[in-house]
Structure formats: structure tokens, C-alpha cells
Amino acid sequence: MIELRTPAEIEEMRPAGRFVASVLEATSAAAAVGVNLLELDALAHEMIRKAGAESCYIDYHPSFGASPFGKVICTSVNDAVLHGLPHDYTLRDGDLLSLDFAASVNGWVADSAISLVVGTPREEDLRLIDTTRRALDAGIAAARTGNRIGDISRAIADVAKAEGYSINTDFGGHGVGRTMHGDPHIPNNGRPGRGLPLKPGLVIAIEPWFLETTDRIFTDPDGWTLRSADGSRGSHSEHTIAITDGDPIVLTQRS
């Protein structure tokens, strides 16, 4: 069911957005050569505890997950692009790391993701990350009253295709509110002018993710981590936004 939020409810969602942004800022700043993925998860876990927030991930068990997630942040490295389950892995020079985090504050959820290179970057990785960020910006710019879901999807796809990246539509953006995932689904490719009309009060997460040389993925033996079929690297960017009568509000904007 699609729910529209009142202006007062959108204001109530701001603390969740600020908290999610702060955790991604802290964990991305802590990500360095020699840091273990479990240390990043522990940092996020401690921030949740101190803020009195609730994890959206630790007990999360959708149909595509092998078991409850059990951690509080997704850490996807190199050929992993989504749902990376934190494990005993120490970051190395040149690793491409995607961090995806969602939490509930005062009963409202926000969801966001960021990709970065640890240590010395490859030019190909910087291009991939930049494309994903620009695709997110384009999707947000299209998230205006009077447009439709397909306009967001096409704006994202246009950026990716201009750089030669193919697009997987199995996973994409989604509604956000009292729970992490809700309607509508927002694929990263689509036809303009099609799909649900965008109205003030719709709160959604827009999340482009691209792989360097494929659009095919498979699930890691851990039952969660999604990896590229050909071993190429992936990048993921996401913000939770609220659609208004004017410009969209980016609830998870980082400083």
C-alpha cells in the first residue's frame, strides 16, 4: 500500500534521516586499509545504541535472504554491490566499498548508501562511483509532483547508459516510512511518463547501483551478498527523499 505523508510527518522523519547520514559519514571516515568489516559494523551498532535508534537490518529476513541478516550495516566490497554481509575481512589498498544503512528513529525509517575507494583508487572505480552519484542526483531531480515513477527510472538510466553501463532492475528504489521497504518499487530503468504519478507526501528511497561490465548478479554462499556474475566491481548510491509541491527534500543528506 502506498501512503502519503503529511508535512508534519515528513518533519518527524528528519531525525531518522540525519542519524542515517551521520552513521554513513562515520563509517566511511573509519574505512581505511587495515580496518575489518566487522569493526565498521560494530561502529554502526554502537551509534545505534547511543542514539536509542533501532536497526532495520539485524532481524531482517525477506524471501531473498537465507536467514535473518544479523548485522546492522551492509558492507559490499569490490565485486559485491548489494546486501554485503559484514564478515571477517580486512580492507586492502584499492578496495571499492559500498556502505548501505537503514535505521528507525522514533518510529520513522531512513535508508541511504554510499560508495568509496579505500586507499589508492583506480580510475575505473572513480568513474563508476561518480556515475552512480550523478544518476542518483538525476533521479532526485526528476522526483517532482506531476512526474511519474518512470521519469525517475529513465533519468537514472540515461546517466548510466551515457557511460556505457548496463542496468539490472531486480533491485531498486522503494517506499520508506514506518518500515524500510514499501511500495512503490522504483527500478533503475524505465519509460518516462509511465507508472505511479508522483504526489506531495510520497517518501521514497532512490538507489542506483551499477556494475562495471555486466548487469547479471548472483548470491554469495553467505545467503545475502549479491556479486557481479563476471567479477567486475559495483557501486551503489542512495538517498531517502520526500516529494513536495516544490523541490524534493533529501532527508539523508550528508554534510
Residue 111, annotated as binding a ligand: yes
Residue 83, annotated as binding a ligand: yes
Residue 87, annotated as binding a ligand: no
Contact status, residue 1 vs residue 87, Cβ threshold 8 Å: no
Residue 245, annotated as binding a ligand: no
Backbone angles phi, psi at 41, to 5 degrees: -65, -40
Backbone angles phi, psi at 138, to 5 degrees: -65, -40
Distance CA 162, CA 149 (A): 20
Residue 174, annotated as binding a ligand: yes
Residue 170, annotated as binding a ligand: no
Among residues 187, 240, 217, the alpha carbon closest in space to that of 76 is found at: 217
Distance CA 193, CA 200 (A): 17
Sequence letter at residue 108: W
Residue 185, annotated as binding a ligand: no
Backbone angles phi, psi at 180, to 5 degrees: -75, -40
Helix axes 37-51, 7-30, angle to 10 degrees: 140
Pick out the residues of the known binding site: 83, 100, 111, 174, 181, 207, 238
Annotated binding site for substrate: 83, 181
Q: Which residues line the annotated binding site for a divalent metal cation? A: 100, 111, 174, 207, 238
